[in-house]
Chains A and B, each alone.
Chain A
């Protein structure tokens, strides 16, 4: 039995997990995916965004009944049960310092030689810096405090649940984090050490010799973004990292990985020299909330490539490389798989899956919600509505009335999730290099400044030509009337009588989006 576990470490790790969740929503993930996060910065904006997203996904999936053929939200995302944490915050209390962690004051008295060693390895700032907001680009601190994670407690327990039934390489663990920051750079080699996960004795990961139940993979994200370092903010901080530190930190880390024998079976090194800006300088907490970036999408796809390896995994060492062919990053530049023979087909599948979810999100959040808010009698002129709901309509029955109050939770979670998705996919559109979707066709104000939860969507009924141009690349530029008509909603008839009318309503829009995209998009 194969089990997939994705671990995101630090801010970049959180954002990679965010991308992975959205890919799961688009139907591209494995059937089951265990996820947890590691970050000492409780209030980190990136972490909070991903935590909220995972919660919304799991809550939504409990309520959303999908018909056969609808692959959206196919992946069951598994997080620790009940109130068990799915984020390892490392420190149990606030204002923890490295000095406190290693019990420096006591050591100075009882074992002065160890305290002296600490003085050699760490500066006074490093020993006394409060670590609530991460390791401030100092992975040496993180490596110490992450060396002994509680494997028998959640979220790590998630790794080992059901391990007895797993054979060699059946437990596929993928660790994602940045190489150039603090938390990710510290956690990646620490968790990737041979004894911690790959050959963990107490958890019976090892099967003797070089065999293990665990197949360990990791995405090391190389510098790929910059941010504005406001000199006023910087001067108040004693420890921080700026984009200027990234290359030095990366070089040092890569040398370390080269020398050290880690437990990883497969590595993905992902980065980009375009160095786009993703936000303002922040040392952590809520202020550290960066725009999504396509490198995170690629990293999430790397994890799916890793999880998707069929059958016995070869021990032969192989190297794969992928890169952009030009300055532009479009659908055909996305490295989706290690198998070059499948590349074009998989790229098309990715494009269509994300296009379907995008058009679904956009049309449902605008036109779909508007129609849902109207009285039943006023919508019955719409053939797609009447074909699906008119014959059996019963106002007080949630099986036949899509606007029944019992479906309000479903719509609440769907609204919120789809807004997060649109934010994510639109934020990747930098209007110059990245050419996946055209956010100006979705968001009012040309999509210049966006915030999740505050999206202002263009009304497709007033701008009917926009919908056909949302997905970048060749298209037939079909308009919203085609979506409402025979190339979308009118053909989306759901005959499954066992699902609630609310779920049916959402399935109709998803089906219509898929039909519309099949007609509108032209494969390059």
Chain B
């Protein structure tokens, strides 16, 4: 599972499945339960779909870059640098999740959505970015960098 192109494909599939689960299957729950002043729940659901999709896309893109980088022969000789790179990519995802949550907040400033819901959206975005990146790189990293993701 750590060979190209299987690792790229599996990562894209897992990303797509998670996006479908949170954007569609849980989309109604996430958009109908918060208090909305003027916006229709369908409009909020549309926003969430796009923002969750952006999170998944960056995570998959980061993971694919990691797979490409890790499959290069020279990386065998620069594992400490590779470990730094992985950490940078991972924490960049956290920043992206935070940024996307801020975007949801800005887009719905006038709606009076409870703070708890923004925390829920942040949690989901962390899952779709950092967690997705960690899981896919934990499972599918090329041999050379397979022991770099946290917990391995």
Contacts and interface: CB of A to CB of B under 8 A. Distances in A.
Given A381-B83, A381-B148, A461 B143 contact: no
A403 B85 CA distance: 29
A383 B144 contact: yes
Contact of B73 (A382, A386, A461, A485): A485
A484 interface: yes
Interface in A485-508: 485-486, 490
Interface stretch (B36-44, B48-56, B74-82, B100-108): B74-82
A498 to B, nearest CB: 25
A398 to B, nearest CB: 23
Contacts of B76: 481-482, 484-485, 490
Which residue, A390, A481, A490, has most C-beta atoms of chain B within 10 A? A481
B91 interface: no
B98 interface: no
Contacts of B146: 383
A380 interface: yes
B144 A485 contact: yes
Interface residues of B, number: 16
A479 B148 CA distance: 23
A381 B77 contact: no
Interface residues of A, number: 16
A480 B79 CA distance: 14
A490 B147 contact: no
A485 B85 CA distance: 19
B143 A381 contact: no
A464 interface: yes
A485 B76 CA distance: 6
A486 B143 contact: yes
A380 B151 CA distance: 11
Contacts of A484: 76-77
Q: Is the interface of B mostly helix, strand, loop or mixed?
A: helix
B79 to A, nearest CB: 5
A387 to B, nearest CB: 8
B77 A490 contact: no
Interface string B116-152: 0000000000000000000000000001111110001
B144 A486 contact: yes
Contact of B77 (A380, A390, A461, A486): A461
Nearest to B147: A386
Contacts of B147: 380-383, 386, 390
Contacts of B145: 383
A490 B73 contact: no
Interface string B58-86: 00000000000000011111011011000
B148 A490 contact: no
A357 to B, nearest CB: 23
B83 A490 contact: no
Contacts of B83: 381
B77 A464 contact: yes
A222 B92 CA distance: 73
B74 A490 contact: no
Given A381-B79, A381-B80, A382-B79, A481 B143 contact: no
A227 to B, nearest CB: 44
A236 to B, nearest CB: 55
Contacts of A390: 147
Interface in A453-498: 461, 464, 479-482, 484-486, 490
Contacts of A464: 77
B47 to A, nearest CB: 41
A490 B80 CA distance: 17
A432 B23 CA distance: 72
B77 A481 contact: yes
Given A382-B147, A383-B146, A486-B143, A481 B79 contact: no
B66 to A, nearest CB: 14
B73, B76, B147: most-surrounded residue (chain A CB, <10 A): B76
Contacts of A479: 73
B77 A383 contact: no
A490 B143 contact: yes
A485 B143 CA distance: 8
Interface string A378-399: 0011110010001000000000
B60 to A, nearest CB: 24
25 contacts: A381-B83, A381-B147, A382-B147, A383-B143, A383-B144, A383-B146, A383-B147, A386-B147, A386-B152, A464-B77, A481-B74, A481-B75, A481-B76, A481-B77, A482-B73, A484-B77, A485-B73, A485-B75, A485-B76, A485-B143, A486-B73, A486-B144, A490-B76, A490-B143, A490-B144
For the complex of A and B, the 9 pairs showing the least CB-CB separation, nearest first, are A485-B76, A484-B76, A481-B76, A381-B79, A386-B147, A481-B73, A481-B77, A490-B143, A383-B146
Interface of B: 73-77, 79-80, 82-83, 143-148, 152
Interface of A: 380-383, 386, 390, 461, 464, 479-482, 484-486, 490
Given A381-B82, A382-B79, A486-B144, 19 more contacts: A381-B80, A381-B148, A383-B143, A383-B144, A383-B147, A386-B152, A461-B77, A479-B73, A480-B77, A481-B73, A481-B76, A482-B73, A482-B76, A485-B75, A485-B143, A485-B144, A490-B76, A490-B143, A490-B144
